[in-house]
Amino acid sequence: MTTIIDGKKLGLEIKEEIKAEVENLKNLNYGIPSLATILVGNNPASEIYVHLKHKACEECGINSLIYRLPDTITGEELLEKISELNADKNTHGILVQMPLPNHINPAKIMDTIAYLKDVDGFNPVNSGKLMNNDEILAPCTPKGVIYMLEKYNVRIEGSNVVIINHSPIVGKPLALMLLSRNATVTVCHVFTKNLKEHTLRADILISAVGKPNLITEDMVKDGAVVVDVGISRINGKISGDVDFENVKDKSSLITPVPGGAGPMTVAMLLKNTVNAFKMQMKK
Ligand code: GUN
């Protein structure tokens, strides 16, 4: 029997918890967490993600402000905006939606966001903390994947986990988080030779590529746990990386797209925003 992981339901549960926590902080006169999101240009996918994040904040009572900047903005101008938000006591979380236009160096942006406000967990201080198993501001997508696996009691320790993605947003931090839970981790990417050789060994297979039907039935071990973090749009229909209908019966647990990893990323952003707020309260 295959279990389909219900990311939507888990996301709603987390939202309820966050809503209660925000209400409690407010009643204790600690104030209200506030998230500033910077959206540069008008990438249609980024527009959707930012809208979903903003809506989720509002549903939980978190203040959410979106700063829309044109894609002609210079790196220096963007850094100035971030410095302004870093200094603003009423802003507790700062998120710069990726990707950025090619002329802006994302590493410089991540370096500049104050680490206590870095709700994406991309600042080098927070990436460094992840090395030491401190996940308080860990990147949202990996954090959401781990949350789902743990909620569904998937055994991570000793498992062969294959991740297809080596970005700083998903693959690299996820590999660290799995290693700290004693998994044997293989990280594959576009230069990997014979992908199938790797995927067939996976007890837990995590794909985050954005290529529909990349993962077919013949690439999956019987009984594997399959987590689909990919997202693409074909003819207006949202699709993951996994050929869901055919892979489903081969796996023991599988995430759908939509309704799997996506809502978890948003839920983890809410958690990180409250974590950032509480850390700043203590300063
Ligand atoms: N673009 C795709 N995923 C993410 C994410 O988790 N955070 C940000 N800031 N941009 C993204």
What whole-number distance in Å separates Cα of residue 109 and Cα of residue 122?
A: 9
- Which residues in 29-49 are b (16+ Cβ under 10 Å) and which e? eeeebbbbbbbbbebeebeeb
Flag whether pLDDT at 213 surpasses 70: yes
Identify the band that residue 70 occupies on the pLDDT scale cut at 50, 70 and 90.
very high
Domains and CATH numbers, the chain: 29-114 (3.40.50.10860), 140-262 (3.40.50.720)
Cβ atoms of residues 261 and 227 within 8 Å: yes
How far apart are the CA of 253 and the centre of ligand 1, in A?
A: 26
SS3 93: strand
Q: 145 CB under 6 A from ligand 1? A: no
Which residue, judged by its Cα, is nearest atom 9 of ligand 1?
A: 97
280 is catalytic: no
Q: Which of 15, 53, 143, 271 is catalytic?
A: 53
Q: What is the pLDDT at residue 283?
A: 67
218 is catalytic: no
Position in ligand 1 atom list of the atom nearest CA 140? 6
Position in ligand 1 atom list of the atom nearest CA 265? 6
Which of 123, 146, 101 lies closest to 255 in space, CA to CA?
Answer: 146
Q: What is the pLDDT at residue 234?
A: 85
203 is catalytic: no
Query: Which residues, 6 or more positions from 58, have their beta carbon under 8 angstroms from its beta carbon?
Result: 64
What whole-number distance in Å separates Cα of residue 172 and Cα of residue 125?
A: 15
Q: What is the pLDDT at residue 235?
A: 87
Q: What is the pTM of this model?
A: 0.97
Q: 95 CB under 6 A from ligand 1? A: yes
